[in-house]
């Protein structure tokens, strides 16, 4: 059978692994595209701006939570460092 995946007589066509990767990427991106289309398309400007402002508010909360946990880790590390030098 030829290496290029072409037909040769009555043999079955070979599908290259690259095609599986492309199909997998398309299947992974499709829900994201549909979600973004549902959020931003087909709404009025007012509803879109409300959705964007709500998304920004949620993103701000997420950033503050991440910063809080980073701050906790820094305080814990500094406390442990001071405790090691203290004893």
Mean pLDDT of the chain: 81
> How many structural domains are present in the chain?
2
Q: How far is residue 43's CA from residue 34's CA, in Å, rounded to a whole number?
A: 14
**Of all helices (H) and strands (E), which one includes residue 80?**
helix 45-86
Do 13 and 28 lie in one domain? The reply is yes
Q: Is the pLDDT of residue 71 over 90?
A: yes
Do 22 and 60 lie in one domain? The reply is no
Do 26 and 62 lie in one domain? The reply is no
Do 27 and 57 lie in one domain? The reply is no
pTM here is: 0.45
Do 16 and 31 lie in one domain? The reply is yes
Q: Is the pLDDT of residue 63 over 90?
A: yes
Do 84 and 51 lie in one domain? The reply is yes
What pLDDT digit, counting tens, does each position of 11-29 carry?
Answer: 566 667 787 888 888 888 8
Do 35 and 48 lie in one domain? The reply is no
Give the residue numbers spanning the domain of 82: 44-87
DSSP per-residue codes, 13-73? PPPPHHHHHHHHHHHHHHHHHHHHHHHHSSS-HHHHHHHHHHHHHHHHHHHHHHHHHHHHH
Do 67 and 84 lie in one domain? The reply is yes
């Amino acid at each position: 059978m030829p290496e290029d995946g072409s037909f040769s007589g009555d043999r079955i066509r070979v599908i290259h692994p690259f095609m599986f990767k492309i199909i997998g990427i398309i299947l992974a991106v499709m829900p994201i595209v549909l979600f973004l289309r549902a959020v931003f398309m087909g709404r009025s400007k007012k509803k879109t701006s409300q959705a964007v402002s709500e998304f920004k508010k949620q993103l701000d909360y997420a950033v503050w939570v991440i910063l809080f946990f980073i701050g906790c880790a820094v305080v814990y590390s500094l406390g442990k460092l001071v405790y090691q030098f203290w004893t």
